[in-house]
Amino acid sequence: EIVDAGGLIALPGLVDLHTHLREPGGEEAETVATGSAAAALGGYTAVFAMPNTDPVADSPVVVEHVWRRGREVGLVDVHPVGAVTVGLGGERLAEMGMMAASPAGVRMFSDDGRCVNDPLVMRRALEYARALDAVVAQHAEDHRLTVGAQAHEGPVAARLGLAGWDPTAEESIVARDVMLAATAGARLHVCHLSTARSAAVLRWAREHYEVRVSAEVTPHHLLLTDTAVQDYDPVHKVNPPLRPAADTEALRRALADGTVDCVATDHAPHAVEAKDCEWSAARPGMLGLQTALPVVVTTMVATGLLDWRGVARVCSEAPARIAGLTDQGRPLTPGEPANLALVDPDAAWTVRGAELASRADNTPYEGMEMPVSVVHTMLRGRWTVRDGKVQDGEVQGHG
């Protein structure tokens, strides 16, 4: 099959370290099938499925189920992330070794689903991960601070003119876990880094310690600021929250200078009821897979902070390296089936949530113009998207 790639930019297939596919248990918001379609349309060839499902992905059975569904759908490589803990409060360590040994071959674990606010549990998880040569992805959300503030104090604090949404919820965990990782000799990955001071902590830690730490930033934290939240539209409710413009600026610079290694979507689909309600009742999270690359272009390329080479690095090469993927995020070897995203740098489009392939429509970019389009995506030599349309797979998406 020949496609005309004249005028298009070829990128290695994009790799997302932070996707919520909601299966099992949240199929009214997304499934492996609909999320895979959204990923392929966004130029992705590999996604890491976060474990905060129902049941939580803390056992070989659940991770194997997600992995198997990904293979059946066949639009993108779905790598399940295992939860580091089990138990209601996440007080016990999960059988990380069993998940690593399962056909899913889990190599990334996360506290998602049950935030690890206990440093001793986190330290043990890091030690276990080190023994498995796996990475621990830390959400750095102490919900006693972030969700509490966002759900309840946020609007009240705003009315009273107080600063809500304490950034130290994130910064204190980043600082703590960088130290714990250094002590354990383990690899730590910081999810959705969102403040200037978190980036400063990373710089400081790398300068002073032998620490193996990586970090991601979301497209929405690169583009949107807390001014978007002033009307308390639940579509802008997300963890970590949208931050002041000074943080957004600092995050762009941190991504450009390598302090932050990569972009990850935190694609978080929610059913209509979870967003079509008042702020305090709404669930946090926003769609990201189909808009990530254009938002990176808007915030990083159009501003001169990165060139397309840099885009390949932060959206594909770096995440593949962090996750230990050997078949993604690198230049082609002659004769090898390719993972590719072909992008039209001049094809602008307007975001309509209802037209996205996700089952949910909670995009914060409704009506916004995106500057570039993913035209074709190839997974191991087979087109998963051609001319902006999903090929094969179990679903075509409704886009």
Helices (H), the chain: 32-41, 60-73, 96-101, 119-132, 146-148, 154-159, 168-184, 196-208, 219-223, 245-256, 272-275, 292-296, 308-312, 318-323
| Residue least distant from Zn ion (Cβ) | 139
Q: Residue 221 binds which entry of Zn ion, ligand DOR, none, with Cβ cut-offs from 5 to 8 Å by kind?
A: none
Rank residues 238 and 372 by Cβ distance to Zn ion and give the closer one: 238
Q: Please state, in angstroms and rounded to a whole number, the distance separating the CA atoms of residues 30 and 22.
A: 5
Q: Is 139 in the site for Zn ion (CB under 5 A)?
A: yes
Rank residues 192 and 313 by Cβ distance to Zn ion and give the closer one: 192
Nearest approach, Cβ of residue 268 and Zn ion (Å): 6
Q: Which of 115, 238, 374, 375 binds ligand DOR (CB under 6 A)?
A: 238
Nearest approach, Cβ of residue 32 and ligand DOR (Å): 15
Nearest approach, Cβ of residue 231 and ligand DOR (Å): 18
Q: Which of 52, 146, 194, 248 binds ligand DOR (CB under 6 A)?
A: 52
Answer yes or no: 231 catalytic: no
Does residue 143 contact residue 197 with C-beta atoms inside 8 Å?
Answer: no
Q: Please state, in angstroms and rounded to a whole number, the distance separating the CA atoms of residues 126 and 246.
A: 32
Q: Which of 23, 111, 216, 266 binds Zn ion (CB under 5 A)?
A: 266
Select which of 266, 307, 361, 392 is catalytic. Answer: 266
Q: Please state, in angstroms and rounded to a whole number, the distance separating the CA atoms of residues 289 and 42.
A: 6
Q: What is the helix (H) or strand (E) element at residue 15, kind and residue range?
A: strand 14-19
CA 333 to chain centre: 28
Query: Which amino acid is it at 125?
Result: A
Q: Is 111 in the site for Zn ion (CB under 5 A)?
A: no
Handedness of CA 237, 240, 244, 248 (dihedral sign): negative
Rank residues 192 and 321 by Cβ distance to ligand DOR and give the closer one: 192
Q: Is 110 in the site for ligand DOR (CB under 6 A)?
A: no
Q: Residue 363 binds which entry of Zn ion, ligand DOR, none, with Cβ cut-offs from 5 to 8 Å by kind?
A: none
The residues assigned a catalytic role are 266
Can you give the binding site for Zn ion, defined by CB under 5 A? 139, 266
